[in-house]
Amino acid sequence: MTPRLELRNISKRYPGVVANDDISMAIAPGEIHAVLGENGAGKSTLMKIIYGAVQADSGEIVCDGNRIERHDPATSRALGIEMVYQHFALFESVSVVENIALSARMPFDLDALSRQVVELSERYGMPVDPRRIVHDLSVGERQRVEIVRCLLQRPKLLILDEPTSVLTPQAVEKLFETLRQLSAEGCSIVYISHKLDEVQALCDSATVLRGGRVTGTAEPRKTTSLELARMMVGANLPEMHIEPARPSPAPILEVKNLSADPPHAFGTALRDVSLSVHGGEIVGIAGVSGNGQAELIAHLSGELRHRHAEAIRLEGQPVGRLDAGERRRRGLAFVPEERLGRGAVPGHSLRDNAVLTAHRAGLVRGGMVDRGRAAAFADRVISRFKVKANGSGAAAQSLSGGNLQKFIVGREMELAPKVLLVSQPTWGVDVGASAFLRQTLVDLSRAGAAIIVVSEELDELFEICDRLLVICQGRLSSSLDRRKTDREEIGLLMTGGTESSTHKGSAGALHH
């Protein structure tokens, strides 16, 4: 059978790095093919080459037996190749349906298109309101829009880059059903993921990349996770090491009856949110994106200020009305969900990005940046957190997602914060770096810091958190002990089920 897509000896060099080195693979019609690899292994570059957003230096791409001569995204789309980017290619200021209309090959009729979007999104269990402005959507919601947009084109080859990291377990199952159905209809799927269990559940075959080269091919269903991980990392994965928590007697961060109007027209109102975090423990906040996480984080970090200073207390002191800078001065550190643009300035060097939050660590003297110390600080983060970067002079945007995340987390940890607020710590980060980041968070908490992790990945929360809370429609559930709850209970709370109906005793007991 002629492969739907065949790559022959693809190579791509960037200054100082070989992103893809002599890569060949073939994907049959209807095949679900996984591409596995660590960050910086060259997966994203390879996908961009398939899609035509980046041109290969050498090698050829053959689609349905025809060699693609001049390759660009328009060619790909004409051939039926669609891609869901890891960093979404959506326009912020226009509505969902307008975004979809831009890439739709059909007459410009927004009403008809809206109906199609609703129909398709309901059929595949991915609720999307076509009239909402993308600007106000959460990451998870944006991904649904991207996927629906691709499906609308009835693609012959669909490329998905880390698609499940923002979905609930139920939604992942729905997505897999969709993908299996698409595959049964003859659509080939290239599935990039670092979640080995998902690859094993979904994919027919896998190509493993490391350092820009193919290091192995496998049938995931007949290969163990350990073997796959070894092909990817080139060594055995570090094992998580978690000591029991010894919480401090008094909470370090306390939130009491925090209510807030939505900050903008499409935001979520926070309703009577209370939580407390002690030193030495990690508290996780689970929830489907868009249920008030962004608003809660903004209030905790100080990006949004609250009119009642007492609503938020840091070491007993009311801080609700203080701005983010003042809260940082008092020992709160924050790692936002968006690495580029909020966690780091894309075009600035790592050294300059270090100064942005670490200026209190002696990097600024008399109003002048001490460049030597700043560089030394950045270098220390780079070596301690094993960041793959071309020195402290490298621009933040030149790092892969996982490496930049390691740098940002490392930068905050070097400041020895009393409270660390982390949003989506390992979103789009590969296995090796995720394990490292999680271990780092655990170590920091055991050293006495209070840590709040907001994540949409339940596995992650169950792995590292001591207590879990679920946010749904701006309300926070009461605290659940990780050892006394399970995915099912959390999953029900995430979709609005009440505690009394799901788990009678334990939640109530903890509350009093």
- By the criterion CB under 8 A, which residues form the site for another protein? 48, 53-55, 72-74, 77, 85, 89-94, 98, 101-103, 108, 133, 135, 264-265
**Minimum distance of another protein from residue 479's CB (angstroms):** 35
* Number of Cβ within a 10 Å radius of residue 217: 13
C-alpha to C-alpha distance for 336 and 453, rounded to whole angstroms = 11
Taking the least distance from each CB to another protein, the nearer of 81 and 490 is 81
Nearest approach in angstroms of CB 139 to another protein is: 16
CB of 153 to another protein, least distance (A): 11
Task: Report in angstroms how near the CB of residue 269 gets to another protein at its nearest.
Answer: 16
Least Å distance, CB 465 to another protein, is 35
* Closer to another protein by Cβ: residue 177 or 338: 338
- Shortest Å, Cβ 345 to another protein: 15
How are strands ordered across the β-sheet holding 17-27? Answer: 17-27, 5-14, 58-63, 66-67
In terms of Cβ atoms closer than 10 Å to its own Cβ (0-12, 13-18, 19+), residue 53 is middle
Cα 425 from Cα 192, distance rounded (Å): 19
Q: At what angle do helices 431-446 and 225-233 cross, to 10 degrees?
A: 90
51 or 124, CB closer to another protein?
51
Closest CB to another protein among residues 134, 378: 134
Beta-strand runs (E) in 424-512: 450-454, 467-472, 475-476, 480-481
The distance of closest approach from Cβ of residue 160 to another protein in the complex, given in angstroms and rounded to an integer, is 16
Report how far residue 272's alpha carbon sits from residue 293's, in angstroms, rounded to the nearest whole number: 14
Q: Are 231 and 210 in contact (CB under 8 A)?
A: yes
The helix (run of H) or strand (run of E) holding residue 13 is strand 5-14
Distance, CA of 50 to CA of 255 (rounded, Å): 49
Residue 109 or 243 having the CB closest to another protein: 109
* Pairing mode of beta strands 467-472, 480-481: antiparallel
| Smallest distance from another protein to CB 134, Å | 10
Query: What is the per-residue DSSP string for 372-387?
Result: HHHHHHHHHHHHHTT-
The closest alpha carbon to 39, from 196, 166, 212, belongs to 212
CA distance 33 to 195: 14
Cβ at position 126, least distance to another protein in Å: 21
The minimum distance between CB 300 and another protein, in angstroms, equals 23
Half-sphere exposure of residue 319, counting CA atoms within 13 Å on the CB side? 26
> CB-wise, 163 or 279, nearer to another protein?
163
Residue with smaller CB distance to another protein, 94 or 201: 94
d(CA 56, CA 71): 9
Of the pair 150, 422, the CB lying nearest another protein is at 150
Token pair belonging to 237 = 């994965």
